[in-house]
Amino acid sequence: MPLSELEAETADHDFETALRTRGLDLPPLAIDTLQLNITKLCNQACRHCHVDASPARTEAMSPQAVDACLRILETHPQIGTLDITGGAPELHAQFEELVIRARALGRKVMVRHNLTVQFDGHPLNGRSMGHLPGWFAAQGVEVVSSLPYYQPYFTNAQRGKGVFEKSVEALRQLNAVGYGQADSGLIINLVYNPAGPYLPAAQTVLETDFRRELGKLGLRFNGLFTITNMPIHRFRLHLEKSGQYAAYMDKLLAAFNPAAAAGVMCRNLISVSHDGRLYDCDFNQMLELPAAVGDMTVFDFDYERLMQRRIVFASHCFGCTAGGGSSCGGATA
Ligand code: SF4
Ligand code: SF4
């Protein structure tokens, strides 16, 4: 498709216009979560990965930037949650130190854990990651794990051969150390995203289905987050190659939900890239659309200035506002 045609499509899908015509304004409300993308290295290379993570990626947060992020937590008690993602964040050399220090500061720590890393181990140095379930439990981290579907076929088609079987076994090991058990205080939430260019079903309905089907395998979890596939990077390429990009954007636009828009996650978090730069969310980070605060990084983090910024919206934001809404914590409406 010629570039001019793509640009014309994008103009039809202008998010700021959609907000204006509905009389919506979405300023930041708070920064209660600091989300760090500490590495693009991953043991997997999933088709829908918006980070383009893989075993070949080398980006990793420096020790200086890790220190700066911990200083931000120390000096901003209002930021109650550290959300650590990647890639597979456990593969970063300072992952465990980061978790321990954030927990020592009294923060809730969430880890985006892809389950299979427990078995695949470190793709570069071969280090076993089998200790993770017990280690997570000892640290009291909240685990958030993608599991595309409760049937092997769909999960393996989206993430790779054998991923379902490994994920089930990894979940079993997390359950064995207390995750998903009533009264253990150890939380594991699963994340579902559709296998193609359509919106996820209602979160509550899917959660019931997942609980029933995974229950048959003896598996437990606390909640299910549904996430809409964002029309960026690998997924956008796939849509364009298969001639479905415009239709998918139209679908997202048609499902625009003002209540979901009011709850977009960028209003409550700041996303940090491996090189310490600040973004409104993980998606903007991957698109290299920095937060509109000049060149501010974790080294000169200024909470008040960040609260004054305009969030940078673009056409991919329709992915967050369609239907029940979509965020790192699932539906927003
Ligand atoms: S496991 Fe997650 S980070 Fe790794 S490639 Fe798949 S989607 Fe990307
Ligand atoms: S993509 Fe990011 S900036 Fe856009 S609405 Fe979603 S969270 Fe906000």
Segment 54-66 shows an average pLDDT of 97
Closest CA to 58 of 86, 39, 43: 39
Whole-angstrom Cα distance, residue 65 to residue 83? Answer: 15
Residue 273 in this model has a pLDDT that exceeds 60 = yes
Residue 159's pLDDT band (cuts 50, 70, 90):
confident
Whether the pLDDT of residue 271 is over 50: the answer is yes
Q: What contacts 7, CB < 8 A, 6 or more positions away?
A: none
Q: Which ligand is nearest to the CA of 252?
A: 2
- The DSSP symbol for 310 reads P
Q: What pLDDT digit, counting tens, does each position of 199-235 carry?
A: 999 999 999 999 999 999 999 999 999 999 989 888 8
What is residue 296's three-state secondary structure? coil
DSSP of 10-54, one letter per residue?
HHHT-HHHHHHHTT---------EEEEE-B-B-S---TT-TT--B
Q: Report the pLDDT value the prediction gives residue 329, as an integer from 0 to 100.
A: 87
* Closest CA relative to residue 196, chosen from 228, 153, 220, 171: 228
Q: Evaluate if residue 71 carries a pLDDT over 90.
A: yes
Average pLDDT over residues 2-12: 50
Answering whether pTM is above 0.85, one says yes
- How high is the pLDDT of residue 10? 59
User: What token pair was written down for 134?
Assistant: 């017990």
Q: Whose CA is nearest to atom 1 of ligand 2?
A: 317
Q: Give the integer Cα–Cα distance in Å for 85 and 90.
A: 9
Is the confidence at residue 52, as pLDDT, over 90? no
pLDDT at residue 238, rounded to an integer: 87
Give the model confidence (pLDDT) of 105-142 as tens digits: 999 999 999 999 999 999 999 999 999 999 999 999 99
Judge whether residue 9 has pLDDT over 60.
no
Q: How large is the average pLDDT for residues 244-261?
A: 95
pLDDT at residue 102 is higher than 50: yes
Residue in 232, 208, 205, 216 with CA at minimum distance from that of residue 289? 232
Contact 281/271 with Cβ under 8 angstroms?
A: yes
Ligand 2 atom, smallest distance to 326 CA: 6
Instruction: Dig out the tokens for 89 from the structure.
Output: 């964040």
Residue for token pair 């991953």: 42
The atom number, within ligand 2, closest to the CA of 314 reads 4
Q: Using DSSP, state whether 179 is helix, strand or coil.
A: coil
Structure tokens at 9: 């499509």
Give the binding-site residues of ligand 2, using a 6 Å CB cut-off: 264-266, 280-281, 283-284, 311, 313, 316-317, 320
Q: Which residues contact 231 (CB under 8 A, 6 or more apart)?
A: 239, 245, 248, 249, 252, 315, 316, 318, 319
What confidence tier does 6 reach under pLDDT thresholds 50, 70, 90?
very low
Which of 28, 12, 21 minimizes the C-alpha distance to 315? Answer: 12
Structure letter (DSSP) for residue 131? T
| The pLDDT value given to residue 8 | 47
- DSSP-derived secondary structure letter, 92: S
| Cα Rg, the chain, nearest whole Å | 19
Give the separation between CA 330 and CA 179, rounded to whole angstroms: 19
For ligand 2, what atom is nearest to the CA of residue 317? 4
pLDDT category of residue 328 using cuts at 50, 70 and 90:
confident
Mean pLDDT, the chain, whole residue set: 93
pLDDT digits (tens, 9 = 90+) for 14-29: 999 999 999 999 999 9
Mutate-to-test residue for ligand 1 from 44, 192, 238, highest number of ligand atoms within 8 A of CB? 44
Task: Give 3's pLDDT tier (boundaries 50, 70, 90).
Answer: very low
- Distance (Å, rounded) from C-alpha 263 to C-alpha 281? 13
